[in-house]
Amino acid sequence: MYEIVLQDFDMEKIMDSGQVFRIRKMEDASFLTLAGHRAVRIRQEENRILFSCSRDEFLGFWQDYFDLSTDYAAIRRSVDPADAYLNAAVSHGRGIRILRQELWETILSFLISQNNNISRIQNSLEALCARYGDKLDPEGIFPPSCTPAPLYAFPTPEALCSAGPEGLQGLGLGYRDKYIWKMAQRCCGPSGKEWLGTLSSCGYEQAMDLLLREYGIGRKVADCICLFSLHHVDAFPVDTHIRQILDGHYPEGFPFSRYRGYAGILQQYLFYYKRAAQGRV
């Protein structure tokens, strides 16, 4: 157990902000968060947040994963007072953070996300993990009395490669299966690790350039990978919802220049606000 006290952190909103697909709300209102080969259960009471892990694991992984050292209040305060819509969005979305998710996992997640709905994305990812991911040790995550369903790590590229293309059938991937297969091969072995390493260390422009060459990755998916994994917070993914917001509320264009360097964080508030307004959350 490790406890922190923190403003601008809301697990419910983070879960529903569309950037992550492996957080589940449990019956006791705690949040089971799976990332790579790790799992943690998080309980939140106002500004008190309890992690079901050791101090070392919190400091060594989850603190960075949840981007806890960024001052989101300052970002919200920077919004143009004259922009009523954006002010409403950041106010409504207080507590959202841009996670720093593992690259390979994020690439696959957003390949699957295209032209797809959230619950189906979650189901596909869970099925993929159950079939090819290692079983995780639930020790310390759940109370000893309860026997939860098994937890699975995110599969490695190598696990998918050795499964072969037919090993991706029956996961609800639809036509995206061939994108996943190609990407697994891309990320396998030393050359794959080198490619992932280059992506991780280069800037936004070069990352986009590299990603857009890949089969099944267009601008929207590439921007999501840049924002939600590589933390290029100037990336501003434009999906159908954001498109409608831009057309409806910013006919003169969104003031990117005012928010240079972190517009992607505002995108996330806008996205959450619109989905909430539509009752999807």
Minimal CA–CA distance to 20: which of 158, 204, 227? 227
Pairing of strands 48-51, 38-45: antiparallel
The answer to whether residue 116 forms part of the interface with DNA (CB under 7 A) is yes
CA–CA separation, 238 and 267 (whole Å): 9
Q: Cβ contacts of residue 111 below 8 Å, gap of 6+?
A: 176, 179, 180, 183, 216, 217, 221
Judged by beta carbon, residue 53 or residue 199, the one nearer DNA is 199
Q: Which stretch binds DNA (CB under 7 A): 27-35, 130-138, 154-162, 171-179?
A: 171-179
Q: In whole angstroms, how close is the CB of 172 to DNA at the nearest point? A: 4
CA–CA separation, 79 and 81 (whole Å): 6
The answer to whether residue 92 forms part of the interface with DNA (CB under 7 A) is no
Q: In whole angstroms, how close is the CB of 177 to DNA at the nearest point? A: 8
* Tally of CB atoms within 10 A around 95: 18
- Indicate which single residue of 10, 11, 13, 18 sits in contact with DNA (rule: CB under 7 A): 18
* Tally of CB atoms within 10 A around 102: 17
CA–CA separation, 1 and 41 (whole Å): 10
The answer to whether residue 24 forms part of the interface with DNA (CB under 7 A) is no
Q: In whole angstroms, how close is the CB of 110 to DNA at the nearest point? A: 7
Q: In whole angstroms, how close is the CB of 217 to DNA at the nearest point? A: 6
CA–CA separation, 215 and 148 (whole Å): 38
| Choice among 13, 135, 178, 220 that is catalytic | 220
The answer to whether residue 166 forms part of the interface with DNA (CB under 7 A) is no
- Indicate which single residue of 78, 117, 198, 201 sits in contact with DNA (rule: CB under 7 A): 117
Judged by beta carbon, residue 17 or residue 33, the one nearer DNA is 17
Q: Cβ contacts of residue 243 below 8 Å, gap of 6+?
A: none
Judged by beta carbon, residue 92 or residue 142, the one nearer DNA is 92
- Indicate which single residue of 37, 92, 120, 249 sits in contact with DNA (rule: CB under 7 A): 120
Residue with tokens 């529903």: 16
The answer to whether residue 115 forms part of the interface with DNA (CB under 7 A) is yes
Give the E-state strand segments of the chain in sequence order. 2-5, 23-25, 31-35, 38-45, 48-51
220 is catalytic: yes
* Tally of CB atoms within 10 A around 200: 12
Judged by beta carbon, residue 159 or residue 242, the one nearer DNA is 242
The answer to whether residue 175 forms part of the interface with DNA (CB under 7 A) is yes
Site for DNA in 205-234 (CB under 7 A): 214-222, 224, 228
Catalytic residues: 220
Residues forming the site for DNA (CB under 7 A): 17-19, 110, 113-120, 123, 172, 174-176, 214-222, 224, 228, 237, 239-241, 271, 280
